[in-house]
């Protein structure tokens, strides 16, 4: 059985004297009947696949609709410029998030985390972290367990699909998962991890799913950037000692309630919001989709 | 949900339901046919029909029919690959009664066999095979699955289940469907373990059993 609350994971960790990620590893071994080594190897495979997807980015690829492609390259070029407003780390995170989102739209191999639409958030943050902070790959894999544990709670107690909970459930969940992962990498304790996730999720509450043409392109790709950057600022707040005034599990429950209140037209049906703007409708006719 | 449904799966984008799920439907159909597909009529329904093109659902289904998995980087080129291999592919739209919004009817022909299935993509990359050769079925392709078409006569269920227990194969779920009393019937059994090849051969030779189809999780084809 998956954990239904972050507090349950933390409680178990305290009881067992283990770290957050170890609790999730143990649970996976129990659930799928595998050894720790096998589970860890599988998670490493997921991370390797993320890195492959990142380095295989093809700037010339365009999606079938013609709406997506090439923006990752713009950020890559921008990152080379001096006098940028923001630093290298954050620019790189943005670049990688766009690249992954575009690769997904262009039918490249990606890792859904938690979904294909939100596949850019977690790798953008973790790959950049490994490259810039020179931590070991194993450490990043541990952080992926942290992300996975948060994601499981979100899936059990709220939602992780746009069709069920709106974009807060996709990009929002990915962002919360990534925030917890960085909090762990930055030395945060279990409580800090949970609050990083909560702070990230709070910033995403209410986000609707209104993709143009029902395709995972507009606004999805750029939302991966906002999810990734939001994960970083939220983890930094938590590391600095800031706590979510609303306890993490109550934030998750709010996401669930808001999701079920969202009308269907704002849950991946492409029937409202950005999807029905004149430009969106014009584009689709143009491409005869 | 399991951990590796959250971090994972590795898949070709853009959509877990319209792309990865579609590959899986094609893949399961290919395995159920039990031999390479020579021609396929692919009839799309609902959202598969409406947004399938933008999601690459067409290419995903064909990739699956060629035996590719959802993480195969060749998926975007599947139409061309199928053409190169002389596989005949026809696309169309269809209106299916009471079907899930993401559904497809696949009419397949191989060297010796034909198969018609309705596959549904339920979200995530979870799928359901809703019918086989016009008879209802409901299975996900996540377990080794045995499908037995037989005459609706007493005794077949007992034969199949006792064979499985003899081979220490545990049944995870079992469904029975029939056209009408004494007509064509189908048994769908999802199992926790793989069923040995000779056991399947044995079943095929039972009187009143018309067709035995086995979906194995092993990558290697179990063809008969
Ligand atoms: S807008 Fe909808 S489809 Fe796009 S990323 Fe968000 S939840 Fe996914």
Q: Give pLDDT tens digits for A205-232.
A: 999 999 999 999 999 999 999 999 999 9
Instruction: Name beta bridge partners: B128.
Output: B120
CA A165 vs CA A220, A221, A253: distances in Å: 15, 18, 12
Question: With 80 as the cut, is the pLDDT of residue A86 above it?
Answer: yes
Kindly tell me the number of DSSP H helices and DSSP E strands found in chain B. 7, 11
Domains of chain B as residue ranges with CATH: 3-132 (3.30.1330.90), 145-215 (3.30.70.260)
The phi, psi pair for A118, rounded to 5°, reads: -105, 25
DSSP string over A60-92? T---TTS---SHHHHHHHHHHSSS-SS-HHHHH
The set of residues, in sequence order, having a beta carbon less than 8 Å from that of B71 and lying 6+ positions away, is A49, A109, B9, B10, B11, B12
- State how far the Cα of B9 lies from the Cα of A166, in Å rounded to an integer: 21
- How would residue B213 be classed by pLDDT, with cut points 50, 70 and 90? confident
- Residue A225 token pair: 């950037």
Convert the pLDDT of each residue in A121-155 to its tens digit. 999 999 999 999 999 999 999 999 999 999 999 99
- State how far the Cα of A241 lies from the Cα of B134, in Å rounded to an integer: 62
Question: With 60 as the cut, is the pLDDT of residue A289 above it?
Answer: no
Domains of chain A as residue ranges with CATH: 6-288 (1.10.4100)
Are A39 and B8 spatial neighbours (Cβ–Cβ below 8 Å)? Answer: no
Return the closest-CA partner of residue B156 out of B216, B195, B212.
B212
Average pLDDT over residues B28-47: 94
Give the nearest ligand 1 atom to A224 CA. 5
Set of chain B residues whose Cβ sits within 8 Å of the Cβ of A211: none
Cα angle at A53 between A47 and A59, to 5 degrees?
A: 155
Give the nearest ligand 1 atom to A268 CA. 2
- State how far the Cα of B187 lies from the Cα of A1, in Å rounded to an integer: 30
ipTM of the complex: 0.95
Question: With 80 as the cut, is the pLDDT of residue B125 above it?
Answer: yes
**Chain-chain contact of A148 with B6 (C-beta, under 8 angstroms):** yes
Global pTM reads: 0.91
pLDDT of residue A284: 64
For residue A237, say if its preceding peptide bond is cis, omega within 30 degrees of 0.
no
- Residue A103 token pair: 């690769």
Convert the pLDDT of each residue in A259-274 to its tens digit. 999 999 999 888 999 9
Report which of residues B154 and A189 the model is more confident about: A189
A151 in B contact zone (CB under 8 Å): yes
pLDDT of residue B223: 38
């Amino acid at each position: 059985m998956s954990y239904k609350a972050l507090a349950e994971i933390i409680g178990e960790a305290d009881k067992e004297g283990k770290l957050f990620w170890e609790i999730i590893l143990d649970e996976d071994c129990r659930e799928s009947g595998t050894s720790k080594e096998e589970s860890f190897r599988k998670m490493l495979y997921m991370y390797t696949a993320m890195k492959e997807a990142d380095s295989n980015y093809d700037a010339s690829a365009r999606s079938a609709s013609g709406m997506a492609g090439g923006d990752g390259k713009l950020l890559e070029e921008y990152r080379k410029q001096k006098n940028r407003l923001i630093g290298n780390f954050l620019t790189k995170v943005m670049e990688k998030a766009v690249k992954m989102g575009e690769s997904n739209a262009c039918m490249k191999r990606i890792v859904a985390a938690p979904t294909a639409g939100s596949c850019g958030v977690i790798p953008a943050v973790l790959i950049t972290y490994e490259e810039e902070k020179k931590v070991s790959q194993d450490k990043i894999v541990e952080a992926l367990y942290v992300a996975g544990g948060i994601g499981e709670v979100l899936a059990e107690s709220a939602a992780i699909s746009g069709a069920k909970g709106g974009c807060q459930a996709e990009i929002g969940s990915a962002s919360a998962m990534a925030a917890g992962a960085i909090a762990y990498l930055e030395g945060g304790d279990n409580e800090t991890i949970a609050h990083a996730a909560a702070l990230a999720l709070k910033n995403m509450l209410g986000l609707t799913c209104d993709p143009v043409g029902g395709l995972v392109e507009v606004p999805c790709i750029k939302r991966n950037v906002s999810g990734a950057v939001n994960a970083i600022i939220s983890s930094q707040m938590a590391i600095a000692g800031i706590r979510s005034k609303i306890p993490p599990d109550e934030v998750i429950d709010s996401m669930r309630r808001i999701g079920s209140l969202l009308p269907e037209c704002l849950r991946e049906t492409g029937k409202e919001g950005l999807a029905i703007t004149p430009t969106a409708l014009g584009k689709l006719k143009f491409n005869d989709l | 949900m399991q951990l590796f449904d959250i971090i994972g799966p590795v898949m070709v984008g853009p959509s877990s339901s319209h792309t990865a799920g579609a590959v899986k439907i094609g893949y399961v159909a290919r395995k159920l046919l039990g031999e390479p597909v020579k021609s396929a009529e692919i009839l799309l329904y609902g959202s598969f029909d409406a947004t399938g093109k933008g999601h690459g659902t067409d290419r995903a289904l064909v990739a699956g029919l060629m035996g590719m998995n959802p993480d195969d980087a060749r998926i975007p080129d599947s139409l061309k690959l199928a053409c190169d291999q002389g596989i005949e592919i026809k696309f169309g739209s269809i209106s299916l009664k009471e079907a899930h919004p993401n559904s497809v009817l696949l009419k397949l022909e191989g060297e010796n066999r034909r198969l018609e299935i309705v596959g549904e993509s339920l979200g995530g990359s979870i799928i359901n095979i809703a019918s086989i050769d016009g008879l209802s079925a409901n299975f996900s392709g996540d377990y080794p699955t045995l499908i037995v078409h037989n005459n609706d006569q007493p005794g077949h269920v007992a034969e199949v289940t006792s064979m499985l227990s003899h081979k220490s194969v545990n049944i995870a779920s079992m469904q029975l469907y029939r056209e009408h009393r004494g007509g064509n019937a189908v048994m769908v059994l999802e199992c926790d373990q793989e069923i040995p090849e000779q056991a399947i051969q044995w079943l095929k030779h039972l009187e009143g059993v018309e067709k035995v189809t086995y979906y194995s999780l092993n990558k290697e084809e179990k063809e008969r």
